[in-house]
Amino acid sequence: MAIAQSHHTYILSVISAYWFVSISMVYLNKVLMSSEEVSINAPLFVTWFQCVITCIICMIAGKMGERYNKLPVSSGDISEKSFWSQFPKAEYHTSVGMRVLPLSVVFVGMITFNNLCLKWVEVSFYNVARSLTLVFNVFFSYAMLGITSSNRTMLCLGVVICGFFVGSSGEMNFSVNGSLAGICSSLFVSLNSIFTKKILPVVEDNHWKLTYYNNCNAVILFTPLILFFELPVLAASLDKQLMSGLFWGAMCVAGVFGFSIGIVTVLQIKATSPLTHNISGTAKAAVQSIMAFYIWKNEPTLKGIIGIAFVLGGSLLYTLVKMGEGRKRAKGGQAATELKGSK
């Protein structure tokens, strides 16, 4: 009884951590992208700095991983060792970095348009603006991999697309640039998942190695863009925000949250299941949008709320349909194997 209660407490704490980190990251990035009092009008620089923080954390975590992997395993440090052992030593080899570069270009596009979308749209509309990822997933799966989708899947996508357009028409402070950035973000998120599967074997299928290489490459790729587009803004802010402890504190915390979201996502999937993780993410997005109406004073509209409901509902249905189809394929494969064995 006590063990079961402890397990349930652990699951609740992991889900709570995922919600806290994810929502906090979105809200803090909104401040960094749009608040003239706290931040500067340099989204590329802000995004670049978060990549730098991720690289530094990967190096520190890699050092900790080396240290704990060398320790003899004992009952007193099993849990600690099991956490740190997942982080490999942070090493950058140019040959590997060049092979990861195509993914890094997609990654830069993804996080750039994601932050630009957050800069230009209301937080309550953010999930709607970036809701077409599922549509691009199905499109690229067919165009690049030849994978077709069922009618039920297409129906779910129809619900999401309707939610996007209904939500857009109901947005009080509608931003064309923000919506276009959201669409581009969705496109790059979809491409990122495809390229990640393709590139992972290059780094021995290690997610943290890929994170390090990706962010190192992103730091390099962002640098000329910042110098070309944002150098005057940075120069004008030298004696203002760039000298502010509040600004740099918010930047560092946002960078830590950006790294932490990967950890809590993995923990939530391990503690529950992929389906529960997706359901948790959908519920989190709903709470995030509702909270935005109060925290950011976004004016709700009937169409806006219907759009959010359609997008989140369609996304949840899509998850349930895909999980159901996956189970059917697994059962079909098992039945075929048993039939072949009986012969």
Q: Is the pLDDT of residue 341 over 60?
A: no
Q: Is the pLDDT of residue 28 over 80?
A: yes
Helices (H) then strands (E): counts for the chain: 13, 0
Under the banding of pLDDT at 50, 70 and 90, the label for residue 79 is very low
Q: Is the pLDDT of residue 3 over 80?
A: no
> Shortest CA distance to 12 belongs to which of 222, 193, 220, 276?
276
Determine contact, residues 39/33, Cβ cutoff 8 Å: yes
Determine contact, residues 250/35, Cβ cutoff 8 Å: no
Q: What is the pLDDT of residue 78?
A: 47
Say which DSSP state 41 is in.
S
Q: Is the pLDDT of residue 280 over 60?
A: yes
Under the banding of pLDDT at 50, 70 and 90, the label for residue 1 is low
Say which DSSP state 173 is in.
T
Q: Is the pLDDT of residue 68 over 90?
A: no
Amino acid identity at 106: V
Tell me the mean pLDDT in the region 84-94: 92
59 or 330, greater pLDDT: 59
Tell me the mean pLDDT in the region 287-302: 91
Q: Is the pLDDT of residue 73 over 70?
A: no
Under the banding of pLDDT at 50, 70 and 90, the label for residue 332 is low
Under the banding of pLDDT at 50, 70 and 90, the label for residue 266 is confident
> Shortest CA distance to 263 belongs to which of 75, 53, 58?
58
Instruction: Give residue for tokens 């440090």.
Output: 77
> Shortest CA distance to 16 belongs to which of 254, 293, 267, 207?
267
Tell me the mean pLDDT in the region 24-46: 92
- Note the pTM of the prediction, 2 decimals: 0.90
